[in-house]
Amino acid sequence: MPPAFAAAVPDVTVASVGGQTVSVPLQILALMTSLTVLPAALLALTGFTRIIIVLGLLRQALGTGQTPSNQVLIGLALALTVLVMAPVFDQAWTAGIAPYLDGKAGFEPSLRAAVAPLRVFMLAQVRDNDLATFAGLAGNAPYASPDDVPFAVLSASFVTSELKTAFEIGFLLFVPFVVIDLVVSSVLMSMGMMMLSPMLISAPFKILLFVLVDGWTLVVGSLAGSFHPT
């Protein structure tokens, strides 16, 4: 941290132990506080939203209840998010964070340089109509360049676009499993076995189909490839 910045930031008293005050630098306190907004940043600024929604819809399409569990799906979504976002994080570290920690750049220039790769990634995923909608809600005219888009408008447009893309992918995943349900239902009806739940019979066939086509690899690979390159 630059010495000038560290000297300008006062210490904050957080407790008193044995008559002695316990203080921490204000920047450390700000860093600890910022960790509370990390889940919101993960949802609003990365590809995690698209990935976890698609995985949740896939589990529902398979009809396996809570298998895989939420913890497994979240772990897979986090791993895939890190894989997708790794180039963006590397650029942010090289362009902004590392120079600031080495004392080679000020806070504001480093912040702008670190956020720039993230803005490029988000703009590559945003749909034009979503961006126009939120620009209108914010009362802004059409932007002359991507750099003129406010970050609040960009993040809202990005989340909306991710939701739409996730549901489009989820719909395509649902189609083959719905076909299996319809076929099984028709067979049971023709055999007069109306009291037998079609889900009980179709579930093994859906799992078998998913395993035979190596479904997890296909879904994960397609999800990683669904993000537009920056």
| Higher-pLDDT residue of 9, 115 | 115
Residue 184 is predicted with a pLDDT of: 83
Decide if 151 contacts 115 (C-beta within 8 A). Answer: yes
Residue 2 is predicted with a pLDDT of: 45
Quote the radius of gyration of the chain (alpha carbons, Å). Answer: 24
Residue 230 is predicted with a pLDDT of: 67
Tell me the per-residue pLDDT of 59-99, one tens digit each, with 9 for 90 and over: 988 888 788 889 999 999 999 999 998 888 888 888 877 88
Q: Report residue 29's pLDDT band, with 50, 70 and 90 as the boundaries.
A: low
| Higher-pLDDT residue of 25, 41 | 41
Q: Residue ranges per domain, the chain?
A: 1-44, 46-225
Residue 8 is predicted with a pLDDT of: 43
| Higher-pLDDT residue of 19, 196 | 196
Decide if 95 contacts 113 (C-beta within 8 A). Answer: yes
Residue 185 is predicted with a pLDDT of: 82
Q: What number of CA atoms fall less than 13 Å from residue 196's CA on the CB side?
A: 14
Residue 4 is predicted with a pLDDT of: 41
Q: Report residue 26's pLDDT band, with 50, 70 and 90 as the boundaries.
A: low
Amino acid at 76: L
Residue 23 has pLDDT above 50, yes or no: no
Residue 14 has pLDDT above 50, yes or no: no
Decide if 52 contacts 73 (C-beta within 8 A). Answer: yes
Tell me the per-residue pLDDT of 108-164, one tens digit each, with 9 for 90 and over: 788 888 888 888 899 889 988 888 888 888 777 777 777 788 888 888 899 999 999
Residue 32 has pLDDT above 80, yes or no: no
Q: Could you tell me the pTM of the whole model?
A: 0.77
Strand 20-25, strand 11-17: pairing: antiparallel
| Gap between the Cα atoms of 230 and 220, Å rounded | 20
Q: What is the mean pLDDT of residues 175-183?
A: 86
